[in-house]
Amino acid sequence: MERIAVCPGSFDPITNGHLDIIRRAAGLFDRVIVLISHNADKHEAFTAEERARLVRMVVEDLPNIEVDVFDGLLAEYVRRRRACAIVKGLRAVSDFEYEFQMALANKKLNDQAETVFLTTSTENMYLSSSIVRQIAALGGDISPFVPKRILQAINQRFQTEKE
Ligand code: PNS
Map residue 13 onto helix, strand or coil.
coil
**Among protein residues, the one whose CA lies closest to atom 19 of ligand 1:** 73
Ligand 1 atom at minimum distance from 40 CA: 11
Q: Is 42 a catalytic residue?
A: yes
Contact call for residues 150 and 14 (beta carbons, < 8 A): yes
Distances (CA, A) of 156 to 38, 72, 131, 138, 149: 23, 30, 17, 13, 13
Give the per-residue pLDDT at 16: 98
Q: If you measure from the C-alpha of residue 14 to the centroid of ligand 1, how many angstroms do you get, rounded to a whole number?
A: 15
Indicate whether residue 9 lines ligand 1 (CB < 6 A).
Answer: yes
Ligand 1 atom at minimum distance from 73 CA: 18
Map residue 148 onto helix, strand or coil.
helix
Contact call for residues 58 and 14 (beta carbons, < 8 A): yes
* pTM listed for this prediction: 0.96
Q: What amino acid occupies position 87? A: V
Give the per-residue pLDDT at 123: 94
Give the per-residue pLDDT at 161: 76
Mutate to test the pocket of ligand 1, among 12, 87, 102 (most ligand atoms within 8 A of CB): 102
Per-residue pLDDT of the chain (163 residues; tens, 9 = 90+): 999 999 999 999 999 999 999 999 999 999 999 999 999 999 999 999 999 999 999 999 999 999 999 999 999 999 999 999 999 999 988 899 999 999 999 999 999 999 999 999 999 999 999 999 999 999 999 999 999 999 999 999 998 777 7
Ligand 1 atom at minimum distance from 42 CA: 3
Instruction: Select from 151, 122, 136 the least CA-distant residue to 17.
Output: 122
Indicate whether residue 102 lines ligand 1 (CB < 6 A).
Answer: yes
| CA angle 55–58–62, rounded 5-degree value | 105
Give the per-residue pLDDT at 87: 98
Interior/surface letters 23-58, b for 16+ CB within 10 angstroms, e for the rest: ebbbeebebbbbbbbeeeeeebbbebebbbbbbbeb
Indicate whether residue 129 lines ligand 1 (CB < 6 A).
Answer: no
First to last CA, the chain: 51
Indicate whether residue 37 lines ligand 1 (CB < 6 A).
Answer: yes
Q: If you measure from the C-alpha of residue 74 to the centroid of ligand 1, how many angstroms do you get, rounded to a whole number?
A: 7
Write the DSSP string, 60-74: TT-TTEEEEE--S-H
Q: What amino acid occupies position 1? A: M
Q: If you measure from the C-alpha of residue 159 to the centroid of ligand 1, how many angstroms do you get, rounded to a whole number?
A: 28
Give the per-residue pLDDT at 93: 87
